Every structure is written in C-alpha cells, then in structure tokens.
Structure 1
Amino acid sequence: MKKGPRVAIQGTKASFHEEAAFKYFGKDIQTVECNSFKITCECLERKEADYVVMAIENSIAGSLLPNYTLLREYNFNIVGEVYLPIQLHLMALPGVKFEDVKYVTSHPIAIRQCIDFFDQFPHIQVIESNDTAACAKKIREELLTDTVAIANTLAAELYNLNIIERRIESNKKNYTRFLILKGERNEEETTINKASICFQVGNHVGALSKVLNIFSELGINLTKIQSMPVLGKRNEYNFYVDIEWGSIENYDTAIRKVLKYTVNFNIMGEYAKNDKV
C-alpha cells in the first residue's frame, strides 16, 4: 500500500485532478476520490485526507466561482499551486470506429473546450457528466460501443481505451490552475513569494484603488483579482487577490499598510509560485 500523503480530489482516479496531484506531489500518494469539491473539503476537515487539490481557474472557462466560496467557508490554508496543461482526447473501446459513434460524454467544461470539434459532427449527442475519467471508466465497465469519452491519457491507460482522436480542444494553450489546500500552515515551505488574500473595502469612491496603489508603489505584482458579492449584502464584495513579490520586506510593509483600508482581511495562504505549465 502507498505510504505517501492522502490527497482528496474531485472525481475519480485518472481525472485531471489526480494528474495535477501527481504533478505536485509525485506518484507516491494515496488518492481520496470525492464526488464534489465540497466533499473534498469535508474529508480534509475530518482529517480523512492530508491535502485537497482544487481547480480554481481555467484559461478558457475562467474562474470556478463556487470554489472561492468553499475557500472562504472552510478557511483552509493554500500551501501551493500547480498549473496543468489540459490536453483532451477522444477515446473508445478497442475496435470502435469513429463513424459508429452516437454519443460523447464528459464534464461540461471539457465539452465546452472542444465545441469547435463537435460542431463538425452534429449527429453526435453530447451527454454531460460530473467527471472526465468517470466517463472513460463507464465505457469500460459497460462495454459501450457507441460512446466516446473526452478525457486525458491517464484515463485511456487506466481503463484500457483507444485514443481515436488526439488534442481535440479548441485552444491548444489550455491550462487549469489548481490550489493545494491543507488544514494548517505549511511550516516546511522556505521559498515564499506568492500569496492569496481576501478582503472587503468601504463602499466609497477610490476605496479599492487605494489598496491596489499600495501594492503598486511597493512593487507587489497582482496576478489575479476576483470579486464575489457578500451574501445578503447589497453593493458589498469580497475581493480575492493573488500577489507576487521579489522582496519579502516590501510584502510585509504592503500588508501592514493595506490593513488600514480594508475589513475582514484574510491571508488565505503564502506559498511558492509554481506557474510552469
């Protein structure tokens, strides 16, 4: 049995989440399969997993907004990130020919990323599912000869399917960013040059601009800003911001200054930038 960390993922083995986990931790992990992102968080909260790997944004589909809500609700620490190139392949049981295919099944986001390919084949019915790898698994278990799945090479290998069309995604520069979540801060991390923070500002002219100017003046680079309405409060927003820096002293100074102009300020994680695709 594998002795590595227990990593909770949304989906099944050979999903993109497991591929991201392998890229970050290596192959020696214990994958904890979960049916939803909320269940991955519950696993970590109950200490049934040591980490969660959670998709947060895709270069084509954009931010996964419900996951920002989970980050705030569970208040886990972001201890790392990983960028994964998303390469989508069409796969079927050995011997199945493309002209025999009536159905294609995959996760809605994966389907959306391949829409140009399927526009050429309007007779193929699209069936949405909650996980790419689970679609491949179903084809194998039910021996479906009229169905193809959109998934990655891991799924084709694990479920012994033939890839009948490679790289069908519309944009070949397609990637997803995943966050690595842990119940407590990662004290082992020595290289810290990126942080994810969350805050609110007053509802008056220039309130957000004042905060952003502080970062700019101190050479802190904003790599992402995402706003989400505060539940039940009109015209109030949580701002989720990712920042990077070259000088830890400038970062510390910026945080001290920003605190004066924000409310409900929260450092969700400080970690090493890891944006290689």
Structure 2
Amino acid sequence: MNSSQSEIRAHAVSKVPQITLGFWIIKIAATTLGETGGDWVTMSLKLGYLIGTGIFAVIFIALVAGQIRAERFNATLYWATIVATTTLGTTLADFFDRSVGVGYPGGVMIVFVLLLASLGIWYKSEGTVSVQSVTTPRAEWFYWVTILFSQTLGTALGDWVAGSDEGGLGLGYENGALIFGAGLLIVGALYYWSRLSRTAIFWAAFILTRPLGATLGDLLDKPVSQGGLEISRLYASVILVSFMALCVIFLPQRPAGRTMR
C-alpha cells in the first residue's frame, strides 16, 4: 500500500461497528435468525435450496451495494446486511451439503477453502484483513464476501456436528450449542490473556458464532423427535427480528476505530 492510499484510509470513515459485547449479542441473534429465516424460505415455503439461494443472493448484493454507497455508519443497514449473509450462508451450505450431495464434511471443506481464498486475496490486495481497514469500497467488498463465506462455513460446521444425516457427527443441537459456546469462551480467553493477533481472534470468533446460531436456530424449529422445540420457523424469525431491533436501538452502535492489530 502506497502513502497516498494510507493517507486516504486514515481520513476515511468506517461503516462497520466497534467490536463490543453488544456486537456479539446482536451477531449471535442474527446468525440464529439466518437459520430460521433461511429454513423458512427453503423448507416451510418449499422453494428449495437453489431458489432460496438465488433470492437471498439478490438481497445480499443489493444490501452490500447500499452499504458501500452509504456515507457513514448506519446500524440498521449494517445489521440487515449481516442478516442477509446469514440467510444466504444457510441456503448455500444446505445447497452444497444436500443438493450437490457432498455431505456435511465435503461442504465444510469446500467453504473452508473459499474462506481462506477470500482472506488471502483480501490480504494480498489490501495488506491487512483487519475490520478497522474497511474504509474503502474495495475493502468493503472483500469484507462482505469474507463474512458471507464465514457464515456459510459456520452453518456447515453446525450441521456437521449436530446432524446425524449427510455424514454428520450426530451430537445433537444442544450439545452442538454447548461445544461452539465453549469454543467462543476459549477465543474470548485468548483475547484477554494472550498476545495473539486481535484480527485472527476476531475472525475465529466471527466464524464460531455462526454454528452456535445455527444450532440454536435448529434447536428452536426442528421437530421434538430430532431434539428440537418445534417452534414455527416464521414465529421464531419474527421473535429474533424483534429482539435484534431492540438491541440495535438500545445497545451502543459506533463506527469502528483503528486499534486492532
């Protein structure tokens, strides 16, 4: 990166929020909503994974374009775009796992490679994959594509651990939620008591919140015979949207600073 690019970035306005406890609360709710909302469109409405993926892809591209055109941080727009990545990530993972027929392990490997490629290209192009560097249109596209792949990977991981079909480990949704919750606690401990890169820790936590949300979403809407609570996907999604809206209104939402290393 040359000096003129660095100067432009230093004076640019970040349109992503600070990473706070409130951020992670809303993020987990958004990932849970992605599971219930995505399944409502593809399963409850019987549109299928391919059509569902197409619908959410259009919404995702439109919201990212709106996010890039925005002149400043907008919490509602940001979290709407996050939800778009979670719903699209849900349908993409299900499409790979079930429609393409690669199973959960194959789906995890495909999306993991895509995520690594996205991070690698982003780093080669921008010299960093830090959230604090997301202040230019190009960096924003890298950011949102990487988030999409991280959400898709998280969905695939959650299904692989909890599910008993398609090569799943069959540990159940409650155990899956406990496993990924414990993983998040470990990542949190590394943040406070290690010198590991804060950027690496952020992306690890970001990925782990997705399977946690996926297993929580499945716990809400799957049949009792499969270990779920059998709540309507539509009702569960409405409750989660309402909860997110209250969090966005009452929890502090400020643009990210430039301290992450």
TM normalised by structure 1 equals 0.22
Indicate the structure with greater helix content.
2
TM-score, normalising length from structure 2?
Answer: 0.23
Work out which structure has the larger RCO, using CA pairs closer than 8 Å and 6 or more positions apart in sequence: 2
Instruction: Give the greater-gyration-radius structure (CA).
Output: 1
